[in-house]
Structure 1
Amino acid sequence: MQGVRFEPTEEQRRTVRAMSGFGIPQEDIATFLDIEPKTLRKHFRRELDRGMVEATAKVAQSLFQMATSGNNVAAAIFWMKARAGWREKQEIRVGPTNLDEVSDEELLQVIQHVRDAIAEGEELAAEAAQLTTEQQPPST
């Protein structure tokens, strides 16, 4: 309707915020409201932005609760990888690339460091397994 000023309703604002949060493309939201995408962005900018932020915050809150409850090891591992920089593999770097330049003493230090890291990883895995076992409800 050209020439008629568009006035969004509160129901349309709620709908846009929800659809935006669900990740529905703006063009599809505009089609749903039977308006042009440009009109959508002009009149619903706040709802488009807030919908995405609110949805992300809600999912982050849910993931955080799952990760910290002790009942969802996968969520905790994901959180540590995404937020704390944990990795599946450890990277070991030795200074010189030519091993002929590395003294026996330096090689022994590197070997001991690797052994310590492996032992620490095994201890952490055992602790995690123990925590997981303790968190399981008793079998009936």
Structure 2
Amino acid sequence: MEHLHRTGGRPRHHPSPTDRRIVQMLAGQAVPQPEICRILAVSPKTLRKAYRRELDVGAAKLEAALVGQLLRLAAGTDDVALRAIIYLLRCRFGWSRYAPPPCG
């Protein structure tokens, strides 16, 4: 019996530079990964494997933009500024209302 060379599944995905830019832009606009998969017609596993850097860079750019907006809000003088400052201190610097006060 002859041994037939079989290839299983779909053909390998080769990301183009345009696809990479699209993924980074969409990730930077907080588009969910399932939506990005539908746009590119790839599986979630393929998206994470082939576009890991683009997903990470897009998420980092989004986070930087959000932190910039939060800092802008914190520079105000109203109750929104106070809530933004408290949020920043808790999330970015680990402050907690339940932690004991520092000794000193």
**Separation in structure 2 between the aligned mates of residue 36 and residue 25 of structure 1, nearest angstrom:** 13
Q: Deviations over 1:54-78 (max 9, x none)?
A: 101111112212322x4x6244212
Q: Which amino acid aligns with 2:52?
A: R
Larger radius of gyration: 1
The match for 1:79 among 81, 84, 87 is 84
Aligned residues: 84
Displacement of 1:49 in angstroms is 1.6
5+ residue gaps, structure 2, are: 1-8, 96-104
Instruction: Give the alignment's TM-score, normalised by structure 1.
Output: 0.50
Q: Which amino acid aligns with 2:23?
A: V
Q: Identity rate of aligned residues, in percent?
A: 34
Partner of 2:43: 36
Structure with greater helix share of residues = 1
Tell which has more relative contact order, 1 or 2 (C-alpha 8 A, sep 6+): 2
Say which SS state the counterpart of residue 25 (structure 2) adopts. Answer: helix
5+ residue gaps, structure 1, are: 87-140
Instruction: Give the alignment's TM-score, normalised by structure 2.
Output: 0.64
Question: 1:81-100, aligned counterparts within 5 Å?
Answer: 81-84=86-89
Q: Deviations over 1:5-56 (max 9, x none)?
A: 3221222112111222222221221110011221111110111122112101
Residues 75 and 35 of structure 1: CA distance in aligned 2, closer, same or farther (over 3 Å): same
Residues 73 and 35 of structure 1: CA distance in aligned 2, closer, same or farther (over 3 Å): same
Give the RMSD, CA atoms, in angstroms: 2.5
